[in-house]
Structure 1
Amino acid sequence: MAALQFPCSLFKTQNRMDDYGAKDMRCGDLTEAQLKSHYRLVDVSTRANPYTLTKITPFTQPQSMFHGSRGEGEKITRQQCTNSLFDEFRDLSRLFSIYGPYKHLIEKMITHMQYGNGKPFRHMLLDSALKVHILSDNSTENSTRLLLKEAIGVNIDWPNNVYPAEKKALLRDAILDGKLPRFDRFQDNFNGMGITVHDTWATHITIKSLQVDNDRYRAVVHYKVQDHFGLDIEDIGKLQFNFFRFFRIWFVLQRCNKFAFKPFMTNMESTIEITGNRNESKK
């Protein structure tokens, strides 16, 4: 019986890594007329009008009873308007990121959108959040870690201290039975991870090594997860997105042809250990 060789790629989502053709990775593809008529993005900012490049005052707020009574606001340059929109974007992000070690991540990611020109984003706190999520998920029905643990222990060829290559598919099946790590839990609405990542685009899971001896095993498993920091038209069409000025500013900065700030890939990785013994693997 042939032994499974390591490192061994177990699982890849149908969505591929580095998919710059995804719908939420588009930028600068919509006109002012489209943004206003198709997506109702008339009232975007409380500080600057991105369409007329003017400062907004109480007399120039679209919803104000004084709107139009004193003409347009003070003209500003496109760069001044951009800076104003990004500052407001960062300020509004605090509504979704209230406490915990990840609460400042969204501001860093907004700044990366402003100056990063579409380069991928990595941060140690993202890696940490992924690892904590994987290790703290103790649901026997959903945890890919626990489902892998069971599948490894049950299918090891204990007399020969190897995992059989012919049973590799059972490890992938175990992952498919679970729920991939996503930041869509209740606490993620307030700790900064729901607004920075929330759902994820692509996930790869690899067993880097597996040691079996003395009726015990130790597997080193690597998770690579990628999300897109960008909005598509389905996002802004949802009431819960369009309602918040935060998302209206984001969409205009990304998709309006006057600004066209590039969305980017958010990358995170984590390596965990899964250990067990022969006795707990008995059916």
Structure 2
Amino acid sequence: MDDYSASDMRCGDLTEAQLKSRFHLLDISARVDPYTLTKITPVSQPQSMFYNYREEAEKVTRQECARILFDEFRKLSRTFSLYGPYKDVIEQMINHMQNGDGSSFTSMHLNSALKEHILRDQSKENSTRFLLQEALNNHIDWDKKVYPAEQKDELYKAILEGRLPKFDRSQDNFNGMGITVHDTWATHITIKSLQIDNARYRAVVHYKVQDHFGLDDNDILKAKFNQLRLFRIWFVLQRYNQFGFKPFMTNMEATVEIIGGRDESQK
């Protein structure tokens, strides 16, 4: 958690020469050239039949250039957030990058998405929720109505062997969660309480998940990202030393219940 030294948390650390030579970032925006601070028009494109007769390109300030890039960033992001209750979150996060100065980001929609993901994951071999339930079922001391301290490692094992919540499913490519979160950086899973009655138990489990809204070198060097204008704009806004907009931590949390009973033990 809170790893501000991570490679995708860098900002403003690359020059124009580095962006062009190492990352091949030449064609950034369809509207403005961030290197020359000039607007791009259909006539100014090399493929235009009027290219050699174009008027001098219109200059913009660095602040105006950044504003244009962020507007284009927001517009392009809509391709990845077409439907559902979370589709507006990406624009909120882009706005936060533009105006938030690196402060962490939270959203009730992201919390809801995390809880929904945990509850809908029915993979009993991989879900941390199901694996925790199995550990509780198998190791609760029903006679003493406690979970034995010497069996605590079985709870750690359940988490380590499980698949942590990530938004890399096919639907996440279009519902806004793939572009906002996708993979995650750190996860804390805490059993907040455990109540054991005669033959039933109820555990309250809290998930705290953190991601970074930022790009590192490896991200933009991947062809699938480099070929998309959205990611080229994002990388330049974050990493170009003439902009240096700060990435930030995305914090999500959800609380779920795990319920089981003595008759579900596999002993």
The two structures have a TM-score, normalised by structure 1, of 0.92
Which residue, out of 39, 44, 48, partners 2:32?
Answer: 48
Cα distance in 2 for partners of 1:192, 1:80 equals 27
Cα distance in 2 for partners of 1:186, 1:115 equals 31
1:71 shift after superposition:
5.9
Cα distance in 2 for partners of 1:188, 1:64 equals 38
Q: Does 2:170 correspond to 1:186?
A: yes
Match of 2:157 in 1: 173
Cα distance in 1 for partners of 2:52, 2:99 equals 34
Q: Which string of whole-angstrom CA distances, capped at 9 and with x for unpartnered residues, describes residues 143-167 of structure 1?
A: 1101100101110011000001111
Q: Which string of whole-angstrom CA distances, capped at 9 and with x for unpartnered residues, describes residues 210-253 of structure 1?
A: 00012110000000000000000100000000010000000000
Cα 1:38/1:209, change in 2 over 3 Å: same
1:147–1:175 contact (8 Å) kept in structure 2: yes
Match of 1:116 in 2: 100
Which residue, out of 97, 104, 107, partners 2:88?
Answer: 104
Match of 1:161 in 2: 145
Q: What is the RMSD computed on CA atoms of the aligned residues?
A: 1.2
Q: Does 2:73 correspond to 1:73?
A: no
Stretches of structure 2 that go unaligned for 5 or more consecutive residues are none
1:72 shift after superposition:
4.6
Cα distance in 2 for partners of 1:108, 1:63 equals 36
2:181–2:213 contact (8 Å) kept in structure 1: yes
SS at match of 1:160: coil
* Identical-residue share of aligned pairs (%): 71
Count of matched residue pairs: 267
SS at match of 1:226: strand
Cα distance in 2 for partners of 1:185, 1:142 equals 15
Cα 1:32/1:72, change in 2 over 3 Å: farther
Cα distance in 1 for partners of 2:13, 2:51 equals 29
Which residue, out of 220, 229, 233, partners 1:236?
Answer: 220
Match of 1:94 in 2: 78
Q: Does 2:262 correspond to 1:278?
A: yes
Task: Name the aligned partner's letter for residue 120 of structure 1.
Answer: S
Task: Name the aligned partner's letter for residue 230 of structure 1.
Answer: G
Cα distance in 2 for partners of 1:171, 1:242 equals 41
Stretches of structure 1 that go unaligned for 5 or more consecutive residues are 1-16
Cα 1:262/1:278, change in 2 over 3 Å: same
2:142–2:198 contact (8 Å) kept in structure 1: no
Cα distance in 2 for partners of 1:95, 1:26 equals 26
Cα 1:20/1:245, change in 2 over 3 Å: same
Match of 2:8 in 1: 24
Cα 1:130/1:70, change in 2 over 3 Å: same
The two structures have a TM-score, normalised by structure 2, of 0.97
1:58–1:66 contact (8 Å) kept in structure 2: no
Which residue, out of 195, 217, 235, partners 2:179?
Answer: 195
Q: Does 2:217 correspond to 1:224?
A: no
